[in-house]
Structure 1
């Protein structure tokens, strides 16, 4: 699959643009938008602590997605609303098989996402049943940071999940890159 595509925030007056890219074996939808002041959130790891003698909650696979939300006071919308609303722009970190390395970390296919600096990173982790239905789900929200590391602990069934996120600024110009 190959396609050249140029994006400008003034493209037909739209701030967000979605375009399908079709190949012989698949179709992919690419979306782009200006983020303004944002940081990079790198999911360093999701450590899974499974009680001895219990199966992994991800025995039949699962899904890990992230999205950047505006920072709001009060309760955020529930994850069903987030999953159904494309305006939240989910980024899939892993879908399908959820291999766990010998040290207990989920093997994610993607680790980095952009988050609005004055926003929140929301991580949604799902475990599936053998039939593919969702067996359990946990949602973790973290305030975006300019730098440093954030850790959060949650539970999915009998298992404890520890999520570690490293925060860093994005380079905003080619001139800054050349100075490094």
Structure 2
């Protein structure tokens, strides 16, 4: 079973890969990565990197090893180069924000996704200026340990219909995937 942060990054990538080519035809799935360590080449820009940063677990509920309410910092970084880098990055950043606003639960994978800040970095050294715009999103979601074959306890991402969320509604939650990574029937 994939870890929750990987599932979230993949869900964001899938949404962006499906809709961004209509904004900029150069942005294909091959230019969207779910890893910050992906090497970037000038001929392959603009590109988008999706990665996770900090994650905190809320004090309430504190049912170890039960339900955990998590708040994840997810970054979507747009890297562009050349004389029009700022304009290209701004257009793509606006599109990313709109796409993630359209489905803030990522298909009921998470409770919510909200933009918390935008940062702009520019490297003016060298022949070609490079600009990066980082959109930071707070992603809220629930997990609980799940018994899996072999005694391993992976985390299950839980989905439920809002507003029936939280400890009183734990029986209403359903695992997104079973311990073998298959959607429940």
TM-score normalised over the length of structure 1: 0.29
Task: Give the structure with the larger strand fraction.
Answer: 1
Higher relative contact order (CA 8 A, sep 6+): 1
Task: Give the structure with the larger helix fraction.
Answer: 2
TM-score normalised over the length of structure 2: 0.28
